[in-house]
Amino acid sequence: MSMQTDHIIKDFFKDTSRFADLMNAILYGGQDVIKPDELQVMDSNEIFVGNYISKERRRDTIMLWKGKEAQAILALEAQNQVDFTMVSRTLLYDALTYNMQDKKSKNHMLPYVMSIVLFHGEGKWTAKTSLLERVNIPEGIKHESNDWKMNVIDIKDLDYHLLKNEDNHNVVKAVGKIWRKEKEDFKGMKVSKAAPRVIAILTEKFDILDLVEGDEETVAMWSFWQDIEDSGFQKGKQEGIQEGKLGLVISLLKNALGKLSPELTVRIEKSTEEELFNIAIHISDIHNENDVYQMLS
């Protein structure tokens, strides 16, 4: 998801009614526990200042929940690709959030920090969600090692019936059905104009964003689906070309280095066309995987 489009998801869930409704569905089975008027939008710039973290790594959406019994900081991270680094990244996000609260707090008790990774890509999340699953621990200290786990919610598995906010309900329902290609359910279904752009991004149909602009108050999902299918045909041709270039670069690297590590293979698969071209023309300068990473940085 690009920096140019991720703000659409952020803006959508910065609405406290939508954020509260989504968190209630995820954390409380749809019960009306978190109230919109108990939420306060937090500025991630305030947390990730200095040299800790770059702009591109700031929180997507983060809110302070002032509940009746205690306070909590709830963060939502939208993720469209399986990423093996997400465990350590989310751990860092939460640690920095606690660190900022330490600086601001006037007592010893801090609000609880919880991050939810909302996976909206195709397929299933296959990366590790536990820190200890990603590290090599000396055998003698395993019993003393502390674990940390992140919460990954696949939007395709989220029961949209638990969502009471109409926009949330329609977005989660539509995204799941688009990925499962259940287009018949779209007949007669209409969504508010706030939903289609979010649906397009969550299903990676970036090239039809301009098609959902307009003054209409509602959008018919059946015609919206047709736009998605039409764009998918053109996108498929472009992806075929990109996959050909990717296959060529991987073959060149295997000839130069032998077997590639799974981590490097994943990183190459996420490369831009410019990065693939750069590797190909400098293949004679590559002697180890670190040389490749330097070209991708």
- Residue range 44-76, pLDDT digits in tens: 766 654 444 444 456 789 999 998 888 999 999
- Domain residue ranges of the chain, discontinuous segments joined by +: 6-119+121-154, 240-296
Statement: residue 23 has pLDDT above 90? yes
Its pTM stands at: 0.72
User: What pLDDT digit, counting tens, does each position of 194-217 carry?
Assistant: 888 888 888 877 766 666 665 557
Instruction: State which of 129-133, 228-232, 278-282 shows the largest mean pLDDT.
Output: 129-133
Residue type (1 letter), 82: V
Report residue 242's pLDDT band, with 50, 70 and 90 as the boundaries.
low
What is the C-alpha to C-alpha distance for residues 132 and 139, in angstroms, rounded to an integer? 12
Give the C-alpha separation, 195 to 189, whole Å. Answer: 12
DSSP-derived secondary structure for the chain: --TTTHHHHHHHHTSHHHHHHHHHHHHHTT-S-S-GGGEEE--HHHHS-TTS--GGGS-SEEEEEE-SS-EEEEEEEEESS--TTHHHHHHHHHHHHHHHHHHH-SSS---EEEEEEEE-SSS---S--BGGGSS---GGGGGGPPP-B-EEEETTTS-GGG--SHHHHHHHHHHHHHHHT-GGGGTT-EEETTSHHHHHHHTT-GGGGGGG-SS-SEEEHHHHHHHHHHHHHHHHHHHHHHHHHHHHHHHHHHHHHSSPPHHHHHHHHT--HHHHHHHHHTGGG--SHHHHHHHH-
pLDDT above 60: residue 148: yes
Query: pLDDT tier at 234 (50, 70, 90 boundaries)?
Result: very low
Q: Is the pLDDT of residue 108 over 90?
A: no
Q: What's the mean pLDDT in 152-179? A: 93
User: Pick the residue with more confidence: 26 or 178?
Assistant: 26
Contact between 59 and 13 under an 8 Å Cβ cutoff? The reply is: no
Highest mean pLDDT among 20-34, 142-156, 212-226: 20-34
Q: Which residues make Cβ contacts (< 8 Å) with residue 171, sequence separation at least 6?
A: 12, 191, 195, 198, 199, 202
Average pLDDT over the chain reads 82
